[in-house]
Amino acid sequence: MRGTRQPFGVWWLLLLLAAIPLTPVQATHPECSIILHLQEREAECLETIRSENQSNESPESSSWKGCLREWDGVSCWPAVSIGQSQAVTCQEILQVFKKSQVLISRNCTESGWSSPTPPYYACELDGSNKDTEAKGAYFATVKVLYTCGYSTSLAALLLAIGIFSCFRKLHCTRNSIHIHFFTSFIMRGAAVFIKDSVLFADESINHCTMSTVNCKVAIAFFQYSVLANFYWLLVEGMYLQTLLLFTFTSDKRYFWWYTLIGWGVPMLIVSLWIFARLQYDNHGCWDDYASLYWWVIKAPILFAIFMNFLIFLNVIRMLVQKIRSPDVGKNYKQQYMRLAKSTLLLIPLFGVHYVVFALFPEHIGVEARLYFELVLGSYQGFLVALLYCFLNGEVQAEIQRNWGKWQSSMESNVFNLVTQDFTA
């Protein structure tokens, strides 16, 4: 009978996926590409079966005895007569078996197709078990590192926001922009943890074929937080450039435009991406970077990085002019240099690796991509808090001033208590 007998194919696929380490650290998962490849081959096989039926090319006459074309869950077996056999190489099944020389064969008997001999799991993965174990250990280590990194960054960023919010002398447009920038990092770290918990909390669920509202919302929130992160970095660069161009200007006049760029533009982009996915590509969990609609997210990020690079060059040019100009006071020069050191370091640091990897397909350099985007990327929030807050001379002076006031107040209270006890 023509059909899709799948028990042994499905079990073999489960064994294969168990051998390949899960990587909940990237939106395009290696094991998902295997499932998608098998689904494409199944669709091709079923389409061939339908075409043969319509064109009467299939041997279905009563005088002919044999096995009809069949998809068994892994391979498409052509029609053959009883007593004949058909064989495929492991490499023909999947490219991950390119080093395996095993032939999988099936015989056509009077009762139909026989089971594959040897079974599909006889195909050896490309690489030894040691390699597979090493990759598994690598991905586990990456997850531990980025979990520690994002936790450290979240703690540092929350402390930095608390410092900027508590001290009234630190309330200004510049620090308000920093707070929004910190918030985008907090959202990005939280989005990574939410995405992992939704997609990988239940190991019994196949995340490759998951298509729930929760997982789509988690991915959409993740994409929004990443976009907001890059666009608030762009705002930091724009603010520095504005500060250098217009020494005397109203910061509040531009602040609402900065807010619109930092939060509004990413919201518009993600809304367009969600609409496109719902209308034209609403399958899976929207975490496939192979989709053409991924460019709705990717192109604006590259645009923000490109604009930041232009700002980077322009700010360097203006800084040289400002520092050399005799008309600029010493205090203004120090202010320019303090803000410029932080922003000029962050712009290339945050953008270079993204541009480099954007030039290559998503499956190229997976391990290096994971390391840069997750391990090093997870500590970016901590670096931002360090540069803009903890190493900021203005912040340090304000903390020391308030610490001195608090100590004086405590000493005064203790002195009053001792005096009261003595007089009593």
In 116-247, which ranges are continuous DSSP H helix? 129-166, 173-200, 213-245
**Residue with token string 């500060």:** 243
Fold adopted by 30-44+65-123: Hormone receptor fold (4.10.1240)
Check if the beta carbon of residue 269 is closer than 8 Å to that of residue 296.
yes
CA distances from 13 to 204, 209, 398 (A): 14, 14, 62
Same-fold call for 30-44+65-123 versus 139-404: no
**Residue with token string 């078990």:** 129
Query: What CA–CA distance (Å, rounded) separates 28 from 260?
Result: 31
- Domain residue spans in the chain? 30-44+65-123, 139-404
Per DSSP, which regions of 52-166 are E strands? 66-67, 70-71, 76-77, 80-81, 85-89, 103-109, 112-113
In tens digits, what is the pLDDT along the chain, a chain of 424 residues? 444 444 344 333 333 433 333 333 333 455 566 677 777 888 888 888 888 777 765 555 555 677 888 888 888 888 888 888 888 877 666 655 555 677 888 888 888 888 888 887 777 654 445 555 666 677 778 888 888 999 999 999 999 999 999 888 888 888 899 999 999 999 999 999 998 888 776 666 666 667 788 889 999 999 999 999 999 989 988 888 887 777 555 566 788 899 999 999 999 999 999 999 999 888 778 877 777 888 999 899 989 988 888 887 887 787 777 767 666 556 666 666 665 666 666 665 566 656 666 555 555 556 676 777 777 788 888 988 988 888 888 888 888 887 777 767 666 665 566 566 555 5
Q: Which two tokens stand for residue 324?
A: 């050399």
Check if the beta carbon of residue 196 is closer than 8 Å to that of residue 24.
yes
Looking at the domain covering 139-404, what would its CATH class be? mainly alpha
Check if the beta carbon of residue 319 is closer than 8 Å to that of residue 340.
yes
DSSP β-ladder status, 85-89 and 80-81: unpaired
Check if the beta carbon of residue 79 is closer than 8 Å to that of residue 59.
yes
Check if the beta carbon of residue 105 is closer than 8 Å to that of residue 134.
no
Query: What CA–CA distance (Å, rounded) separates 424 from 419?
Result: 8
CA distances from 381 to 35, 78, 160, 367, 409 (A): 35, 57, 11, 22, 35
